[in-house]
Structure 1
Amino acid sequence: MYINFAHFLIPKISALCSVLINPLTVYIVWNDKKLQLGPYRYLLLYFAFFNITTSVADMLVPMCVLNYRYAFSVFVSEGYFDQYSEFNQFFLAFRCSLISGAYAVLHAHFLYRFFVLFNNQFLARWFMPYGIILAVLYCLFHTVYWTIFCWFYMGGDFDRRVYIRDSMLEHHGVDVMNMTIIIAQYFEGTPQAMKKSRIGIGSLSVLSIISLVFIFHFGYKICHKLSSQSLEMSEKTKKLQTQLMKALVVQAAIPTCVSFAPCLFAWYQPVFGLDLGRWIQHAAGIAVATFPALDPLALIFFVPTFRKKFAEYFLFLKSCRTNRTTCSQQTTTSTSQPRIDK
């Protein structure tokens, strides 16, 4: 179904930018000889792969939010997975789980930066391969946790679909009975539907809040250590660690602002029966899709070496296009000149 122009276009542009920028960021990081990031490159590769996966999921499962009275819902607005089936319901739940997966990847980055400053010997001994394997398993835990609660507790059963049916017909002109949709209904429903909805949203909220507390706790410790005079580290290394930490803070702020905050607002707005307009619900689906493209830009912006190489790459592409255009014009000019036979 067609929601509006912004909802149709922005996620697709964001996914395209993500698929282009993330591999380029990995290329710059992997071939850098100046900063010598060591095993941290593997975490950056892991983050880029996760961002690309999220962008692909955005293309396959474009999401939109509909809130009606005391019910929150997120549904697939178009594509191959918009029609109801148990597999499509599961896939929508998995797409939602990538929101929490982003925090799991960020946790690995914060822990790495923490151990670099507080126990570098432990990191050097255990990070490869055990640390990176544990980071992947930790991300899987987040995605499985979210998928289970979204699919089993908010799977859009018959009673909850009936509750929002008229609203869906009014706003989007489709029958909710045939849609892939997740619904949380807090009041005015059957006891079973309300109980499962509250358990589902409550469980997701608990894990999300723990994720934020984790980031704030380790972020504070890292920033405090970097600003202390007791840090035994060269000025060059300390400067690099500060740059990477600034990038990481922004990378943590991006999913908080464009993923978690819209989700939290959409979840709890119906608890109080608030109706703040459809534009907020449309914005939630759009904002979630922009995270994979914005995330690598923080690393490029805050680390001057990466920023310089990023600029050089685009200047190189511009130079190649200019040279091709010049050669094409010269070829056209030479072939268009009349030949003089002797």
Structure 2
Amino acid sequence: MYINFAHCIIPKISAVCSVLVNPFTVYIVWNDKKLQLGNYRYLLLYFALFNILTSIMDMLVPMCVLNYRYAFSVFVSDGFFEEYSDYHQFIIAFRCSLISGAYAVLHSHFLYRFFVLFNNQFLTRWFMPYGLLTSIFYLIFHVIFWTICCWKYIGGDYDRRLYIRESMFEHHGVDVMNITIIIAQYFEGTPNAMRLSRIGIGSMSVLSIISLAFIFYFGYKICHKLSSQSSDMSEKTKKLQTQLMKALTVQAIIPTCVSFAPCLFAWYQPVFGLDLGRWIQFAAGIAVATFPALDPLALIYFVPTFRRKFIEKLMFFKFTKKNQTACSQVSNIQGTSEGTQK
């Protein structure tokens, strides 16, 4: 179904940018010889792969939000998974779980930076491969937890679909019984539907708040360590760690602002029966799709070495393309001249 121009085009542009920028960023980091990031490169690669996965899912499972009275819903607005089936219900639940997965990846980065400053010997000994594998399993836990909550507790059963059926047809001209959708209904529903909805949304909210608390705690400890006049760290190392921490802070703010905050607002707006207009619901679906493209730019911006290399590579590609165009024009002119002489 067609929602509007912005909802159609912005997530696709963001996904393409993410697929291009994330590998480019990894290439710059991986080939850097000056900063010598060591095993941290593996975490950056891990984050880039996660961003690319998220972007691919954004293209395959475009989502839109619809709130009606005391119900919150997310549905697939286009593509292969738009039509209802049990398998498609699982797919949209998995797509939603990647929102929590972003925090799991960020936790690994914050924990790595923490150990670099407070117990680097432990990190050197255990990170490869055990630390990296633990990070991956931790991500899998977040994804499974959210997938279960979205699939089993706020799935689109018949009673909840019936509740928003009229509103869905009014706004989008489709029958909610035939589309892939997850619905949380807080009031005006059957006891079972309301109980499951509250358990699902409550569980995801608790995990999300714990995730934010984790980031705030370790972020505070890292910033406090970097701001102290500690003598066990050279100025060069402290400067690099400060740059990386600034980038990581922005990388944490981006999904919080464009993923978690819109989700939290959309979840709890129906609890109070608020209707603030459809534009907020459209914005929530669009914002969630933008963070995989914005995320790697933070690392490039806050680390001057990476920023210079990024600009150099872009200028190199631009210069190479210009030379190829010029050579092609010269060849065409020469071919035309030879033809005229004949």
Is the pair's TM-score, using the shorter chain for normalization, greater than 0.5?
Answer: yes
Q: Which residue of 2 aligns with 1:53?
A: 53
For residue 157 of structure 1, report the CA deviation from its aligned partner.
0.3
Report the counterpart of residue 200 of structure 1 in structure 2: 200
Aligned to 1:67: 67
Equivalent residue number for residue 299 of structure 2: 299
For 1:232 and 1:205, how far apart are their aligned partners in 2? Answer: 40
The one-letter amino acid of 2:260's match is F
Q: List per-residue Cα deviations over 1:169-213 (Å, max 9, x = no partner).
A: 000000000010000000000000000000000000000000000
Which residue identity lines up with residue 163 of structure 2 in the other structure? Y
- The amino acid of 2:200's aligned partner reads G
Please say which of residues 237-246 and 328-337 is displaced more in the overlay: 328-337
* Range with greater deviation from structure 2 (228-237 or 268-277): 228-237
RMSD across aligned positions (CA): 0.7
- Once residues 263 and 336 of structure 1 are traced to their aligned partners in structure 2, the CA distance between those partners, rounded to angstroms, is 62
Q: How does 1:1-342 map to 2 (within 5 A)?
A: 1-337=1-337, 338=339, 340=341
> 1:234 Cα shift?
0.8
1:334 & 1:230 partners in 2: Cα distance?
68
Q: Distance in 2 between matches of 1:294 and 1:230?
A: 33
1: distance between equivalents of 2:341 and 2:237?
68
Matches of 1:329 and 1:164 in 2, distance apart?
A: 61
Q: Give distance in 2, aligned partners of 1:257 and 1:249.
A: 12
Deviation at 1:340, TM superposition (A): 4.2
Which amino acid in structure 2 is aligned with residue 41 of structure 1? R
- Once residues 83 and 328 of structure 2 are traced to their aligned partners in structure 1, the CA distance between those partners, rounded to angstroms, is 49
What letter matches 2:88 in structure 1?
Answer: N
Work out the CA distance in 1 between the residues paired with 2:214 and 2:91. Answer: 28
- Relative to structure 1, the CA distance from residue 170 to residue 306 in structure 2 (aligned partners, 3 Å threshold; closer, same or farther) is same
Measured after TM superposition, the shift of residue 25 of structure 1 is 0.5
Q: Is residue 154–residue 184 contact of structure 1 (8 Å, CA) maintained in 2?
A: yes
SS in 2 for 1:319: helix
Return the alpha-carbon distance in structure 2 between the equivalents of residues 186 and 231 of structure 1: 56
Letter paired with 1:57: M
Instruction: Tell me if the contact between 1:186 and 1:198 (Cα under 8 Å) persists in the aligned partners.
Output: yes
Give distance in 2, aligned partners of 1:274 and 1:340. Answer: 79
Note if contact 1:72-1:270 (Cα within 8 Å) is conserved in structure 2: yes
Are the equivalent residues in 2 in contact too, given 1:47–1:105 (CA < 8 A)?
yes
Please tell me the residue identity of whatever aligns with 2:335. T
TM-score where L is the length of structure 1: 0.99
Give, in whole Å, the separation in 1 of the partners of 2:183 and 2:341: 79
CA distance in 2, matches of 1:117, 1:135: 19
Where in structure 1 do 4 or more consecutive aligned residues deviate above 4 Å? 338-341
The SS at the match of 2:64 is strand
Shift of 1:75: 0.2
Uncovered stretches (5+) of structure 2, i.e. residues with no partner:
none
What letter matches 2:103 in structure 1? Y
Task: Give unmatched runs, 5+ long, in structure 1.
Answer: none
Give secondary structure in 1 for the equivalent of 2:35. Answer: coil
Change over 3 Å in CA distance of 1:212–1:176 after alignment to 2: same
Give distance in 2, aligned partners of 1:298 and 1:21: 12
**Count of aligned positions:** 341
C-alpha contact (below 8 Å) 1:225/1:231 kept by paired residues? no
